[in-house]
């Protein structure tokens, strides 16, 4: 196995690379300039952390968020990697520890905040310490037109030139404009080796639901996932507070978060969410950037997000660890009206507004989709041939009907009343309701009056919602939200096109859905016990729980139930350092007691040398008193056996060298047999 593969397993505890990681790691190890575009949760950090261990010198990592840097450094140190951060938030001791590691040449990764680059001292320091690679996280922060622009990122180009070392840049933002800006500003226009990786996040389940009683819908969704970390996104600050309170009453550990809170309160909410297990935060979109919690198990939208990009980014905060995560996005006619009016009333120039409507349409199209949501979502990002099986419409196909006639009737009601009215009044006309408003305006004499009695009021509401969602009717802000027909509806009106609509997608929830678990019923109690242990260890070490082991690792432990240190080493996420620190504690939970094992043998856990060691030990025991059982007892020390198992000498001569003549005489032939068998 290559050096990178060995490190992947031994240090990071992963069996295999995620899609795309290996090529990126190889290019960075070779010292090429690299630009890698990977979706959130795709595993970008590994793509510079692993090469940092393979390459000579220090890897400087530039990252915009101090909290994230500190988390990564903590996680690396847990895995036994020498890493440090220089940030304005450091204590003197922390700074001293970093310098000490630098001076003694032990430091492999040095995280620095971009602000530091503005001081001349930083450059001098970086020159002295022998930097071999620059890694830039969130590279889109160099884009002056993006929403995350960081002026200090513009200094990174100078740094690269001054140090004259390769640079690897990472981002989740894929659009071509941003990419060009990164190439210009970080690489002086020399196109680096570029990797563009898929946007699919297959472990995230996608679901939308029309608003019925939205508060109840959110509370039910959360109730089925009690004890799991989640985010509820709301459209208003007031709603974050009321839903958080309701969740609290339902027995959740829930807090609210919005831009109106003072910075101190916001920071403390972020820290608590990051650190505490199973917490729910109810937030406006102000919450998210700066949250790097890999074990968020669900994201719910109590209101429709503002665009398909925002939706993708917000749900993407769930399930970064790769374990299953769930989402639910609620939407209704009011959301559509609100989002449209925000665009229309905003200050953006007209072309921009047209583009914003299109991005909202893309999201509404997703909300009203008739087939697989993942395919619609990824199609928007330019990906085809997507397989799914993990969205509500793959679970239960939509119940569709030919809505052409219904849509024509609705359009006609709108047109004959001058496109001045909202859906409520139009539905009254279609149903033939003689309300005051209908009579006053003489709408009871229209040919459309009463032509829609085959549907109930509720069904018409569903039809109008879908017409708005598919942008056939748009509320006009200049007409107090009166619905106007769009050009897209013309072919339908003229009889040149047909349209499929969904039956009422509002299903009455019979009762609270059963709790969802991450593992099957049988393994659930063990998983809770493992989580409790993890929480205790995390609290003692004052780190977030996932720094000990992430959810995915605990799920695998609960399912595979390793009963030896060797088996434990094969669980994804259990590297050598973590095995040494926590292996026994978790084995004890699984098996009632920890395995007793010689420390030397323990170091070989999970490797082929481990099983070789066991076989050598067995043949040695057979020969302890010689072939006839009459000689003086003789044995090799554990460390000698470990050497034989690791170095795998091929002949008697090398065994002589390793073991000395006396022992080589007694055990040599038998050992060589064992080694030959194994190769
Ligand atoms: P991002 O691309 O968003 O920066 P991270 O680097 O934070 O993603 O990685 C997301 C999660 O995936 C982390 O919990 C990390 O431990 C995990 N991860 C990364 N690479 C692998 C891998 N090869 N196998 C299993 N898990 C991985
Ligand atoms: Zn699907």
Listed residue (428, 308, 290, 298) closest to 374, CA to CA: 308
Residues with CB under 6 A from ligand 1: 14, 17-18, 21, 38, 40-46, 294, 320-322, 550, 572
The predicted pLDDT at position 372 comes to 95
CA of 379 to the centre of ligand 2 (A): 12
The predicted pLDDT at position 373 comes to 95
Q: Where are the domains of the chain?
A: 2-196, 204-331, 400-502, 524-596, 608-678
pLDDT over 80 at 348, yes or no: no
Determine the number of helices (DSSP H) and then strands (DSSP E) in the chain.
31, 18
Helices (H), 224-323: 237-249, 263-275, 308-315
CA of 580 to the centre of ligand 2 (A): 41
Which atom number of ligand 1 is nearest to the Cα of residue 39?
2
Q: Which CATH superfamily is domain 524-596 in?
A: HRDC domain (1.10.150.80)
The predicted pLDDT at position 392 comes to 95
- Whose alpha carbon is nearest atom 20 of ligand 1? 43
Residues belonging to the chain: 679
DSSP calls for 302-342: SS--SSHHHHHHHHTTS-TTSS-EEEEEEE-HHHHHHHHHH
Which atom number of ligand 1 is nearest to the Cα of residue 17?
23
Mutation pick for ligand 1 pocket among 45, 47, 79, 169 (CB with most ligand atoms within 8 Å): 45
Q: Give per-residue pLDDT as tens, 73-127.
A: 999 999 999 999 988 778 888 888 888 888 888 899 999 999 888 877 788 888 8
Q: Which ligand is nearest to the CA of 291?
A: 1
pLDDT over 80 at 476, yes or no: yes
Which atom number of ligand 1 is nearest to the Cα of residue 8?
23
Listed residue (302, 336, 316) closest to 221, CA to CA: 302
The predicted pLDDT at position 512 comes to 60
Kindly report the three-state secondary structure assignment for every residue of 548-593. Answer: HCCHHHHHHHHHHCCCCHHHHHCCCCCCHHHHHHHHHHHHHHHHCC
Lowest mean pLDDT among 162-166, 313-317, 411-415: 313-317
**The two three-digit tokens of residue 630, written as one number:** 């009459």
Q: What separation in angstroms does the CA of 671 have from each of 514, 612, 614, 624, 675?
A: 58, 10, 12, 13, 6
pLDDT tier at 480, thresholds 50, 70, 90 = confident
Which atom number of ligand 1 is nearest to the Cα of residue 18?
23
Tell me the fold of 2-196.
Rossmann fold (3.40.50)
Do strands 109-112 and 83-86 pair parallel, antiparallel, or not at all (unpaired)?
Answer: parallel
pLDDT over 80 at 504, yes or no: no
Q: Which ligand is nearest to the CA of 398?
A: 2
- Whose alpha carbon is nearest atom 5 of ligand 1? 43
- Whose alpha carbon is nearest atom 19 of ligand 1? 43
**The two three-digit tokens of residue 208, written as one number:** 């939308």
Beta bridge partners of 400: 502
pLDDT over 90 at 429, yes or no: yes
User: Could you tell me which residue, 211 or 633, shows the higher pLDDT?
Assistant: 211
Listed residue (464, 469, 462) closest to 505, CA to CA: 462
The predicted pLDDT at position 172 comes to 86
Kindly report the three-state secondary structure assignment for every residue of 141-172. Answer: HHCCCCCCCCHHHHHHHHHHHHHCCCEEEEEC
**The two three-digit tokens of residue 161, written as one number:** 């030139």
Give the right CATH number for 400-502 from 3.40.640.10, 1.10.10.10, 1.20.1260.10, 3.50.50.60: 1.10.10.10
Q: Which residues contact 54 (CB under 8 A, 6 or more apart)?
A: 3, 4, 7, 29
pLDDT over 80 at 382, yes or no: no
- What is the pTM (predicted TM-score) of this model? 0.74
**Residue 305 φ/ψ region, left for φ over 0, alpha for ψ in the -120 to 50 degree band, beta for the rest:** beta
- Whose alpha carbon is nearest atom 25 of ligand 1? 14
Range 295-304 average pLDDT: 96
Q: How crowded is residue 6: how many other Cβ atoms within 10 Å of its Cβ? A: 11
The predicted pLDDT at position 147 comes to 66
pLDDT over 80 at 9, yes or no: yes
Do strands 482-485 and 473-476 pair parallel, antiparallel, or not at all (unpaired)?
Answer: antiparallel
Do strands 109-112 and 58-62 pair parallel, antiparallel, or not at all (unpaired)?
Answer: parallel
Share of the chain above pLDDT 70, in %: 97
DSSP state of 87: -
CA of 520 to the centre of ligand 1 (A): 24
Q: How many Å apart are CA 360 and CA 3, to the nearest integer?
A: 47
CA 666 to chain centre: 56
The predicted pLDDT at position 595 comes to 76
Share of the chain above pLDDT 90, in %: 53
Which atom number of ligand 1 is nearest to the Cα of residue 546?
14
Q: Give per-residue pLDDT as tens, 456-466.
A: 998 999 999 89
**The two three-digit tokens of residue 125, written as one number:** 């320091």
Instruction: Check if the beta carbon of residue 202 is closer than 8 Å to that of residue 25.
Output: no
Instruction: Check if the beta carbon of residue 85 is closer than 8 Å to that of residue 69.
Output: yes
Listed residue (285, 225, 216) closest to 253, CA to CA: 225
- Whose alpha carbon is nearest atom 13 of ligand 1? 321
Which atom number of ligand 1 is nearest to the Cα of residue 47?
6
Which atom number of ligand 1 is nearest to the Cα of residue 45?
6
Q: Which long-range contacts (CB under 8 A, 24 or more apart) does 72-76 make?
A: 72/45, 72/111, 72/292, 73/109, 73/111, 74/543, 74/547, 75/547, 76/49, 76/109
Q: Give per-residue pLDDT as tens, 152-210.
A: 999 999 999 999 999 999 998 767 778 889 999 999 999 999 998 778 899 999 999 99
Q: How many Å apart are CA 530 and CA 516, to the nearest integer?
A: 18
- Whose alpha carbon is nearest atom 23 of ligand 1? 17
Q: How many Å apart are CA 418 and CA 411, to the nearest integer?
A: 11
**Residue 189 φ/ψ region, left for φ over 0, alpha for ψ in the -120 to 50 degree band, beta for the rest:** left
Task: Return the residue matching tokens 């520890």.
Answer: 97
- Whose alpha carbon is nearest atom 9 of ligand 1? 43
Q: Give per-residue pLDDT as tens, 525-539.
A: 899 899 999 999 998
Mutation pick for ligand 1 pocket among 26, 64, 320 (CB with most ligand atoms within 8 Å): 320
pLDDT over 50 at 1, yes or no: no
Which atom number of ligand 1 is nearest to the Cα of residue 42?
2
pLDDT over 60 at 511, yes or no: no
Instruction: Check if the beta carbon of residue 108 is closer than 8 Å to that of residue 58.
Output: yes
- Whose alpha carbon is nearest atom 24 of ligand 1? 14
Mean predicted lDDT score pLDDT of the chain: 89
Q: Which residues contact 172 (CB under 8 A, 6 or more apart)?
A: 37, 38, 39, 40, 42, 44, 140, 316
The predicted pLDDT at position 306 comes to 87
Q: What separation in angstroms does the CA of 427 have from each of 434, 435, 463?
A: 11, 11, 10
DSSP calls for 386-437: -----BHHHHS---EEE-HHHHHHHHHHHHHTTT---HHHHHHHHHT---HH
Instruction: Check if the beta carbon of residue 256 is closer than 8 Å to that of residue 241.
Output: yes
Helices (H), 623-660: 638-647, 652-659
pLDDT tier at 261, thresholds 50, 70, 90 = very high
Range 359-383 average pLDDT: 88
Write the CATH number of the domain with boundaries 204-331: 3.40.50.300
Q: How many Å apart are CA 4 and CA 179, to the nearest integer?
A: 28
Q: Which ligand is nearest to the CA of 208?
A: 2
Beta bridge partners of 62: 112, 136
User: Could you tell me which residue, 555 or 291, shows the higher pLDDT?
Assistant: 555
pLDDT over 80 at 335, yes or no: yes
Domains 2-196 and 400-502 share a fold: no
The predicted pLDDT at position 280 comes to 97
- Whose alpha carbon is nearest atom 18 of ligand 1? 43
**The two three-digit tokens of residue 595, written as one number:** 């395995």
pLDDT tier at 6, thresholds 50, 70, 90 = confident
CA of 71 to the centre of ligand 1 (A): 13
CA of 543 to the centre of ligand 1 (A): 18
CA of 464 to the centre of ligand 1 (A): 43
Listed residue (336, 348, 329) closest to 233, CA to CA: 329
Which atom number of ligand 1 is nearest to the Cα of residue 75?
16
Helices (H), 40-139: 44-54, 66-78, 92-103, 120-128
- Whose alpha carbon is nearest atom 27 of ligand 1? 43
pLDDT over 50 at 509, yes or no: no
CA of 202 to the centre of ligand 1 (A): 14
pLDDT over 70 at 507, yes or no: no
CA of 653 to the centre of ligand 2 (A): 63
Looking at domain 608-678, which CATH architecture does it have?
Orthogonal Bundle (1.10)
Mutation pick for ligand 1 pocket among 17, 23, 46, 551 (CB with most ligand atoms within 8 Å): 46
Q: How many Å apart are CA 79 and CA 666, to the nearest integer?
A: 40
The predicted pLDDT at position 152 comes to 92
Q: Which residues contact 638 (CB under 8 A, 6 or more apart)?
A: 598, 599, 600, 601
Which atom number of ligand 1 is nearest to the Cα of residue 12?
16
pLDDT tier at 146, thresholds 50, 70, 90 = low
CA of 610 to the centre of ligand 1 (A): 28
């Amino acid at each position: 196995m290559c050096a990178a593969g060995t490190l992947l397993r031994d240090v990071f505890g992963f069996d295999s690379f995620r899609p795309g990681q290996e090529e990126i790691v190889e290019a960075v190890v070779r010292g090429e300039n690299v630009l890698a575009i990977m979706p959130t949760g795709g595993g970008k950090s590994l793509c510079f952390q692993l090469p940092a261990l393979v390459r000579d010198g220090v890897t400087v990592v530039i990252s915009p968020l101090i909290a994230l840097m500190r988390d990564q450094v903590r996680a690396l140190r847990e895995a036994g990697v020498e890493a440090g951060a220089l940030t304005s938030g450091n204590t003197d001791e922390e700074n001293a520890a970093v310098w000490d590691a630098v001076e003694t040449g032990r430091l492999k990764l040095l995280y620095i905040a971009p602000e530091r680059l503005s001081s001349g001292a930083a450059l001098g320091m970086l020159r002295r310490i022998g930097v071999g690679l620059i890694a830039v996280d969130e590279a889109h922060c160099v884009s002056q037109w993006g929403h995350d622009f960081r002026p200090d990122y513009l200094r990174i180009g100078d740094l690269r030139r001054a140090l004259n070392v390769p640079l690897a840049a990472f981002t989740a933002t894929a659009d071509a404009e941003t990419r060009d800006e990164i190439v210009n500003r970080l690489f002086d226009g020399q196109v680096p080796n570029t990797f563009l990786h898929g946007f699919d996040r297959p472990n995230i389940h996608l679901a939308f639901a029309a608003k019925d009683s939205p508060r109840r819908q959110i509370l039910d969704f959360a109730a089925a996932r009690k004890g799991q970390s989640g985010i509820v996104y709301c459209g208003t600050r007031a709603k974050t507070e009321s839903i958080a309170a309701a969740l609290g009453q339902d027995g959740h550990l829930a807090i609210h978060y919005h831009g109106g809170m003072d910075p101190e309160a916001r920071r403390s909410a972020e820290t608590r969410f990051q650190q505490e297990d199973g917490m729910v935060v109810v937030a406006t979109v102000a919450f998210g950037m700066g949250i790097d919690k890999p074990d968020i198990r669900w994201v719910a939208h109590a209101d429709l997000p503002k665009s398909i990009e925002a939706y993708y980014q917000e749900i993407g905060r769930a399930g970064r660890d790769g374990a299953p995560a769930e989402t639910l996005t609620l939407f209704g006619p009011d959301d559509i009206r609100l989002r449209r009016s925000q665009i229309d009333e905003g200050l953006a120039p007209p072309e921009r507004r047209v583009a914003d409507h299109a991005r909202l349409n893309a999201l509404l199209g997703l909300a009203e989709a008739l087939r697989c949501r993942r395919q619609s979502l990824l199609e928007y990002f330019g990906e085809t041939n997507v397989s799914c099986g993990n969205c509500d419409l793959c679970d239960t196909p939509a119940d569709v009907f030919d809505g052409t006639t219904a849509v024509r009737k609705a359009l006609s009601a709108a047109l004959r009343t001058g496109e001045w009215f909202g859906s409520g009044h139009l539905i009254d006309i279609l149903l033939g309701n003689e309300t005051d408003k209908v009579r006053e305006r003489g709408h009871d004499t229209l040919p459309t009056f009463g032509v829609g009695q085959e549907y109930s009021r509720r069904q018409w509401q569903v039809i109008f919602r879908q017409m708005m969602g598919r942008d056939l009717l748009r509320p006009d802000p200049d007409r107090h939200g009166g619905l106007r027909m769009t050009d897209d509806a013309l072919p339908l009106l003229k009889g040149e096109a047909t349209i499929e609509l969904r039956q009422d997608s509002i299903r009455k929830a019979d009762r609270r859905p059963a709790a969802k678990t991450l593992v099957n019923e049988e393994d659930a109690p063990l998983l809770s016990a493992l989580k409790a242990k993890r929480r205790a260890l995390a609290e003692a070490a004052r780190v977030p729980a996932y720094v000990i082991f992430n959810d995915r690792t605990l799920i695998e432990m609960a399912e595979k139930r390793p009963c030896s240190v060797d088996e434990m080493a094969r669980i994804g996420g259990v590297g050598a350092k973590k095995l040494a620190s926590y292996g026994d504690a978790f084995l004890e939970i699984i098996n009632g007691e920890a395995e007793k094992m010689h420390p030397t043998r323990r170091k070989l856990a999970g490797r082929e040398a481990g099983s070789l060691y066991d076989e050598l030990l067995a043949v040695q025991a057979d020969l302890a008193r010689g072939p006839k059982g009459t000689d003086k007892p003789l044995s090799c020390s554990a460390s000698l056996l470990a050497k034989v198992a690791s170095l795998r000498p091929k002949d008697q001569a090398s065994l002589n060298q390793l073991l000395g003549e006396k022992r080589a005489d007694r055990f040599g032939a038998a050992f060589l047999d064992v080694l030959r068998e194994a190769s």
